Amino acid sequence: MKITDLKTFVVGNPPPHFGGRYFVFLKLTTDSGIEGIGEVYAATFGPHTIARMVEDVFARHVQGMDPFRIETLWRNVYSRGFSQRPDISLMGVLSALETACWDIIGKEVNKPIYELLGGRVHDRLRSYTYLYPQPGDKTDVYEDPDLAAERAVEYADQGFTAVKFDPAGRFSSFDPRQPSLERMELSELFVKRLREALGTRADLLFGTHGQFTTSGAIRLARKIEPYDPLWFEEPVPPEMPEQMAEVARHTAIPIATGERLTTKYEFARVLRSGAASILQMALGRVGGLLEGKKIAGMAEAHYAQIAPHLYCGPVEGAANAQLAACTPNFLILESIQRWDGFHGEILKKPMVWEDGYVIPPDAPGLGIELDEEVAAANPYDDTELHLESVEHPL
């Protein structure tokens, strides 16, 4: 069996844009007619440029290859141009191609991917959601602790046992910085109000995006620590995990990180330094499913857990679920609410979410199929990137 064809899809994510402005999907087809899908999580260039990158890598390394040769594909793409180092854009492209190969392999042998990566160890996958705005909100749920507490209770009533929120302010091009007194006060009030509203019904996941200096993150951690969050996410930028380790040494809150990291090499540095005990690899960026499994294995040896990150489309989400299902040290899975809305519409059959848990599919491969008609009906024609930093913090 050989891979013969590639098709890319740059899909606009309609309002309210939960999960980002657009999704970049691809489809590989073999000479026997088996199709596999993948998703690129790359925000460093415009999505149509990313699609051209996919075409370049496909032509040089994928066309004509046996999809079972995952390790060979990985080494050839990782090493192209004599780079051999983590490249966030290239790894996003590789992740999608690698995932599509796994989808093909699963369909060829009629098994879900998790059965090929060690076998299922979790029948249900605990999930969490961000606190999202809703039509009719009179204030901003990201700025109003009381509304956020109400929204958190609504999600808990649906079955979620954890919610994530980020009241610490916008990330900017000139981070890291010290948190302002106003933002520290607001952050503490958010955690306090949510803990009062939820009690022990749900864990609190305090999100930041690497905005703070080491000392600033420690100051903020001390403010929120009395309310026992399950994690403090990416408190400092990702370049220096040794500095994140310093934060970890000064707080009892578990540190979570990984959405901006790629490959086993960057995660090894996180684990070696003691920077985090919860790893949030995004499988559309990190290097693919097998790379994610290797990272999970390293984490297991350090008594660390994985919590796959999702801020893109449902194809990466389905890959996250496949990895989580076969990983003993899986903690929790990020969901975009209940996998409904456009995340359900873009698939021929949406992911199954029940009472706070994602149910791993029994279908072969990823267990999902992209609805190409829906994809074609929602092209992305704008110029903004998936995520945009503000120039200066607000």
Specify the DSSP class assigned to residue 347.
B
pLDDT digits (tens, 9 = 90+) for 203-246: 999 999 999 999 999 999 999 999 999 999 999 999 999 999 99
Q: Are 366 and 102 contacting, i.e. CB atoms less than 8 angstroms apart? A: yes
Predicted local distance difference test score (pLDDT) of residue 389? 74
Predicted local distance difference test score (pLDDT) of residue 392? 66
Cα torsion angle, 349, 107, 307, 70, sign: negative
- Beta-strand ranges (E) seen in 338-381 are 352-354, 357-359
Predicted local distance difference test score (pLDDT) of residue 394? 55
- Beta-strand ranges (E) seen in 280-332 are 305-306
Mean pLDDT, the chain, rounded, equals 97
Q: Which domains does the chain have, with CATH numbers?
A: 3-111 (3.30.390.10), 115-366 (3.20.20.120)
Averaged pLDDT for residues 248-262: 98
Predicted local distance difference test score (pLDDT) of residue 7? 98
pLDDT digits (tens, 9 = 90+) for 299-337: 999 999 999 999 999 999 999 999 999 999 999 999 999
What does the block give as tokens for 220?
A: 């903020």
Nearest to 320, CA basis, from 277, 278, 360: 360
- pLDDT greater than 80 at residue 340: yes
pTM above 0.75, yes or no: yes
309 is catalytic: yes
Nearest to 327, CA basis, from 351, 301, 350: 301
Longest dimension (CA), the chain: 62
pLDDT classification of 168: cutoffs 50, 70, 90: very high
Averaged pLDDT for residues 85-100: 97
Choosing from 48, 250, 302, 309, the catalytic residue is: 309
Q: What is the distance between the alpha carbons of residues 394 and 156, in angstroms, rounded to a whole number?
A: 31
Predicted local distance difference test score (pLDDT) of residue 383? 86
Averaged pLDDT for residues 165-183: 94
Choosing from 17, 48, 61, 209, the catalytic residue is: 209
pLDDT digits (tens, 9 = 90+) for 342-385: 999 999 999 999 999 999 999 999 999 999 999 999 999 998 88
Q: What is the distance between the alpha carbons of residues 260 and 281, in angstroms, rounded to a whole number?
A: 8
pLDDT classification of 391: cutoffs 50, 70, 90: low
Q: Are 288 and 41 contacting, i.e. CB atoms less than 8 angstroms apart? A: no
